[in-house]
Amino acid sequence: MNSNGVVEWAVVESDIGPLLLAATDAGLVSVVFHARPAVRDRALAQLRTRLGAEPVESPGSARLAEPIRQFAAYFAGTLRDFSLDLDWSLTSGFNRQVLRELSAGVPYGAVAGYGDLAERVGQPGAAQAVGAAMGSNPLPVVVPCHRVVERDGGLGGFGGGLETKRRLLALEGVLPEPLF
């Protein structure tokens, strides 16, 4: 067992499909897109391995109540800033540094380039490494890797798929809503 003890999880519906939310004593530890059974089972196996704890499904958990409430408010357009305790134990080193900077420094409705973010953490020229950090983000949406885009205006990659990234940016008013 790791120091976090129990990992509690639930799958919640959202405008971008089912999301798996998992939390430890320390806070929200994982957000997984497209959490249909096969994806969910793979994510739970990874949590079990990486955190050394057996994930327990508990949609009514006190630990998940606030994350679930804030996600619902975010998708309803009434919440711009998540204020959740986060458990950063699934990321470390450069990736954690970049993700913390993203979390603190790129607000709702704004975007940043991969290169900008590299400069902000004192690693100019590390744009590709920033891309890798975004890809490994264990807390997407809350730690808003969808707000990191290419300098030429391209969307860049996204773990949840480009359609998901587009929808999150449209929700935040960065991109026009698609017409159909």
Task: Measure the CA–CA gap between 160 and 155, rounded to whole angstroms.
Answer: 12
Active site (catalytic) residues: 145
Q: For residues 108 and 80, is the Cβ–Cβ distance under 8 A?
A: yes
Task: Tell me how far apart the alpha carbons of residues 146 and 160 are, in angstroms, rounded to a whole number.
Answer: 9
Say which residues have a Cβ less than 8 Å from residue 19's Cβ, sequence separation at least 6.
11, 12, 13, 31, 32, 33, 35, 71, 141
Neighbours of 70 (CB within 10 A): 19
